[in-house]
Amino acid sequence: MEKAKMTVDKDFKIGEVDKRLYGSFIEHLGRAVYGGIYEPGHSSANEQGFRADVLEMVKELQVPIVRYPGGNFVSGYNWEDSVGPVSERKRRLELAWRTIETNEFGFNEFVDWTKQANSEVMMAVNLGTRGADAARNIVEYSNHPEGSYYSDLRIKHGYKEPHAIKTWCLGNEMDGPWQIGHKTAEEYGRAAVEAAKVMKWTDPTIELVACGSSSLNMQTFPDWEATVLDHTYDHVEYLSLHQYYGNQEKDTPTFLARSLEMDRFIDTVKATCDYIKAKKRSKKTMYLSFDEWNVWYHSHENDSKMDPWQIAPPQLEDIYNHEDALLVGCMLISMLKHADRVKMACLAQLVNVIAPIMTDTGGGSWRQTIFYPFMHASVYGRGTALVPLIQSPKYDTKQITDVPYLEGIAVHNEERGEVTVFAVNRHLEESLPLEVDLRSFGKCSLIEHIVLENDDLKATNTAAQPNRVVPHNRGGAEVSDTLITASLAKASWNVIRLKVQ
């Protein structure tokens, strides 16, 4: 195999990595809440019914922010149903996923859970069946200190101090015909700007996320972004992106190249934002929130057979394999390569529903294959993302050409005195010789070289075999002054950690 090379310089910076890039997502969908983060009566449950085994794994991932309560769910969500005495809460037909929502676990419980998970809330408001009035009311309930109807109602419900939620999403996937209250870009832009105005009049300190396109493949992309931003540019701080990938065609080389499409998606949204910035003669830069991303396709067949109107049925329970973990690693690298503009992101989702963490209701829990690249990036990928100058052999697929076998990025954490190189070898049959030139850093020393590899691309972790696909730190990278040499195993995710002067 021809050698690959990466050159990085500490002065060639992409941008600071916002810790919220490693966010996640909990929706009232399937067993994400009931049987996932919340299960009274479970042997590990605390006094609020939160599963301690799940909390420990979430803390292991160091998730800084969690989006809630949806997702498609939020477009039919009456937030008032989920607060106050549990015995008085209404059971609802949940139309997005065709289940029964008991509202036993609600808004305040979620705020409590995020605190125990060492995280923060990214709260979404319903702009499907509702609008500006309900949006301003939940901000008042959540963030106003006291002396108004909704703030006093929160105090009555046992929460004297405001929740002080900073980040709010203006609806969800409103461009999608599947969405409750689906709108055109013009209709959504008008609804979003009016909601934004009253929400910020209620609490001027909050930050808002407007809905971008639900995927790169939407027919309305990127006209949707341009129209929505025409209305909302002066009132929001972020525009959202959503994207999922699958390997239904069993074409792994193409599947592992999909992160190049993710790069193109981000670049197109950036360009659209900057066009509206120029059009409005604005000095403000619009940042991006990639608040839904993952691999999702394994569970489609089972979900199509699901009987409606159950309570917390096992929906969207993808069991991830080794190749899925490789693409998740590539997608993380893609977002790090755009760290100057992508400031928030949410791996969708966190527990049981297309998730890195799985549980058995009443039983144990385990880490899926995708848990590991996400954890490595979250723990070691904080600091400054550096421009990766990459030379790599390439391959072509039926759909994507000029795919580099090496996908990589470096992050400099000046406070820790560390540089971390994240690298994926996309080659399915051969190892990839790699040189990383860190010429500007002075003498470096190796901390460790972590590798996630498996001879079986379809290997999974299960309750019975939770450690079938796990990383090791025997990667074998070597450092001579400022030059790293390594052999990246075939189809592998690599984390090379270095101590620098």
> Given 27, 101, 120, 292, which residue is catalytic?
292
Question: Which of 14, 36, 111, 31 lies closest to 68, judged by CA?
Answer: 111
What DSSP character marks residue 373? H
Active site (annotated) includes residue 292:
yes
Please give the full DSSP string across 186-255, using - where no structure is assigned.
Answer: HHHHHHHHHHHHHHHHH-TT-EEEE---S-TT-TTTTHHHHHHHHHHTTT-SEEEEEEEE--TT--HHHH
SS3 letters across 444-491: EEEEEEEEECCCCCCCECCCCCCCCCCCECCCCCEEECCEEEEEECCC
CA dihedral of residues 293, 185, 218, 226 (deg, nearest 10): -80
Question: Which of 174, 190, 55, 170 lies closest to 123, judged by CA?
Answer: 170
> Given 80, 173, 225, 407, which residue is catalytic?
173
| Residue owning tokens 């991303």 | 293
**What are residue 476's phi and psi, to 5 degrees?**
85, 15
- The type of residue at 227 is T
| Cis amide linkage into residue 349, ω under 30° from 0 | yes
Alpha-carbon distance of 438 to 436, in angstroms, equals: 6
What DSSP character marks residue 80? G
Going by their DSSP bridges, the two strands 365-367 and 357-359 should be labelled as: antiparallel
Token output for 490: 């075939």
Alpha-carbon distance of 460 to 256, in angstroms, equals: 17
CA distances from 218 to 8, 174, 212, 294, 477 (A): 36, 12, 11, 17, 42
Cβ neighbour number for residue 115 with a 10 Å cutoff:
12
Contact residues for 425 (Cβ-Cβ < 8 A; gap 6+): 405, 406, 431, 432, 488, 489, 490, 491, 492, 494
Alpha-carbon distance of 330 to 409, in angstroms, equals: 10
Active site (annotated) includes residue 237:
no
Question: Which of 167, 29, 28 lies closest to 110, judged by CA?
Answer: 28
**What are residue 386's phi and psi, to 5 degrees?**
-105, 145
Active site residues: 173, 292
